[in-house]
Amino acid sequence: MADGRGPEAVEAYRRAVEAEPTLAEAHRRLGLALYRQGDLDHARHAAEAAAALSPELVEPWFTLGLILRDLRDVPCSLAAFDRVLGIQRDHREALHHRGRVLYDSGHAEEALASLQRAAELSPDSAAVVHDLAIAHLACGNWREAEAALARCTALDPGNPETYYELGHAHEYDVATPDEDAESAYRRAVELDPEHLPAQFRLAVLRARRRRADPLARAEALEALRRLAGREDLSSHFPDAHLVFYLLGTLLDDGEATRCEAIEAYQRCLALRPTFAPAHNNLGVLARQTGDYEGAADHFGQAVVADPGYDPAVRNLCRLLYDQPNELAVRELREIVDRIPSAAPDVIACMMGHVIDAAKSEAYASSYDRVHEIKNLIGVLGARMRKVCCGEGCRDQLQGAELLEMQTRAFDAIRGYLGAIETTSGERETLDCGEVLRMAVRQMAVTKPAGVEVEYHISPGLPQLTGDRRRLTQLFRNLTVNAFEAMPETGTLRVLAELIRASEAPAGSPVRAGVRIVFEDTGPGMTEEELRRAFDPGFTTKPTGSGYGLAVVSQVVREHGGTVALTRGEAGGARATVELPERARPEAATSRLRLRPVIYEDWRKLIQAEVDAIRTDDGNSVRRDAPDGDVSGP
């Protein structure tokens, strides 16, 4: 009975308490024995009595903290562990458990300090170092998590779960190659051949590199089909539905494998009936075969399951726009009936997509004509440059003025084409902070000498799903605008911070993601200028095209975010962009996307047309600008 286990121990300690009711240790041991028996309520009463009798001792408070932790009484549990640390500042176990309580209650950042100190006190404790690593992962501190997990593998080399978590950390860290993640997952499978999550992650990594490696797609399919064929998959892998979803995304772009893709999506939904991406992709497949009612049903179910899943909202809007009938009214009514609280936001979003679809048709109708005009301006510029730069030019000044006018006209047309572009780039998982810094640095050549750039990038930003090229364009445009507002001196403040779902304003379309702010110390803008800033063609600058902020607005809409332009604290302009995390299932991107109108990259169009322009003597116009673009008309 000395070990305090079993009913006999409970009875013995009860007798001890009855004999010596003021003996704190008897109460504590009774509480511990009851705790081990699972009688938490009576254990709490005994531990509280011990702490009240001897508040200066560590043991009663520590025992009480453990009991309160298991009772899910977070505030009281933290208070008990704090009493321990008030008596003994470096109590390793109290620090460890305090960190665990904070982490389990959703306060990973606060947990880090306790867990870090516990790991310093016990560097050889695999459990402590592991929990520190998991907290770093939750905070987005990938490098710190990788270092801690690598330490865990040295302390406990036979634990496959540690290698699996290390693989996850490598995947999240954009600076770490996928090969490192694959190596960690392989080691997990070597230690435990039945480790299904690690097998799935290996399949995901193969699917990612399918375009660079022709064999990777076949390897991914083989691994996924093997997992899908296991009868015990769902009982051993909580995210088994993702196996079938990823399988579907690899099969849905071919006629020969379409039926297998449909079956995979259906099996995904059998495991997770409210999984919006699978409903969305089934809707696209139905639409491709002319089954508009089936498509509308799947898109509607996806929206009901996840009102914030933008691809389904967009696809449903496009379907209803192309097939306007009573089906549209029925689907809208069902959405309103099934998700009344989210219906206003969904309908507002749908209205925006319908307007975009109408705009796209309008743009498409004028697109060819605009290109003809641009071609003529480009040819005119080439001819004018030859004449004005030749020895026979009588008025060099007038020629230069004409060339400047032609250049501005060409830039305006090019800006217009950029503003109406609909992205066709593939979405990928991005480190927002990395893309943001890179975009601002790329524009350093346009920064006035007296302007300083301050970065305030919060740690632990979530990864975003988006088009890297378009997001880079967004950040570059905002950077250029800020620099142009401060021609001599000033400060550009670039801020990026986490938007937590619990902190998002009511009605905000971005429930969780990243907030990016560009704030300059320039002269600012009037209320009228702020109101019209995103209108295509509107500019307050003598040489501006008026399409920079229009492109910003377009890219933000493509990514389901919001953008606002206001006056900053210092009187300058403040642009606030909010982008949703949209952490989709980690699968290969399905090519099943419905877009209103697909435009080819206008840079390629311009380059091809300029290449085709010939001067009278048969020489090509120079093409030495970077990135395949032309530096001028």
At CA 610, angle to CA 419 and CA 467, rounded to 5? 35
- Measured CA to CA, the distance from residue 484 to residue 492 in angstroms comes to 11
The encoded tokens of residue 227 equal 């997992």
443 touches 480 (CB < 8 A):
yes
At CA 348, angle to CA 343 and CA 354, rounded to 5? 120
Amino acid at 349: C
Q: What pLDDT score does 596 carry?
A: 30
DSSP letter at 526 equals -
What are the start-end ranges of the H helices in 105-213? 108-121, 126-139, 142-155, 160-172, 178-191, 196-208
The residues spanned by each domain of the chain are: 196-273, 350-420+606-628, 428-597
Q: What pLDDT score does 371 carry?
A: 55
- CA distance readout (Å), 231 to 203, 239, 263, 265: 19, 14, 16, 17
- Measured CA to CA, the distance from residue 204 to residue 242 in angstroms comes to 10
Q: Which CATH superfamily is domain 428-597 in?
A: Histidine kinase-like ATPase, C-terminal domain (3.30.565.10)
Q: Is 103 exposed, middle or buried (0-12, 13-18, 19+ CB in 10 A)?
A: buried
Amino acid at 286: A
Q: How far is CA 177 from the centre of its chain?
A: 19
Q: What pLDDT score does 317 carry?
A: 79
Q: Which helix (H) or strand (E) holds 495?
A: strand 489-499
- Measured CA to CA, the distance from residue 95 to residue 594 in angstroms comes to 52
Which of 482, 462, 476, 472 has its CA nearest to residue 522? 482
Q: How far is CA 48 from the centre of its chain?
A: 45
pTM, to two decimals: 0.63
Q: What are phi and psi for residue 153, nearest 5 degrees? A: -65, -30
- Measured CA to CA, the distance from residue 286 to residue 302 in angstroms comes to 14
- Measured CA to CA, the distance from residue 553 to residue 557 in angstroms comes to 6
DSSP letter at 596 equals S
- Give 10-residue mean pLDDT values along the chain (633 residues): 66 91 92 91 94 94 95 95 96 95 92 95 94 89 91 94 93 80 96 95 90 87 95 92 94 88 96 94 90 87 85 80 67 74 70 65 57 63 64 60 67 61 63 85 83 84 81 90 90 88 51 86 89 76 67 83 89 91 42 32 37 38 31 29
Which of 512, 425, 504 has its CA nearest to residue 471? 425
The encoded tokens of residue 194 equal 């039945």
- Measured CA to CA, the distance from residue 453 to residue 437 in angstroms comes to 11
Is 563 in a helix, a strand, or coil?
strand
Q: Which residues of 158-174 are buried (b: 16+ CB within 10 A; e: fewer)?
A: ebbbbbbbbbbbbbbbe
Q: What pLDDT score does 544 carry?
A: 58
Q: What are phi and psi for residue 435, nearest 5 degrees? A: -60, -40
Q: Which distant-in-sequence residues (6+ apart) come within 8 Å of 510 by Cβ?
A: 499, 504, 560, 561, 562, 578, 579, 580
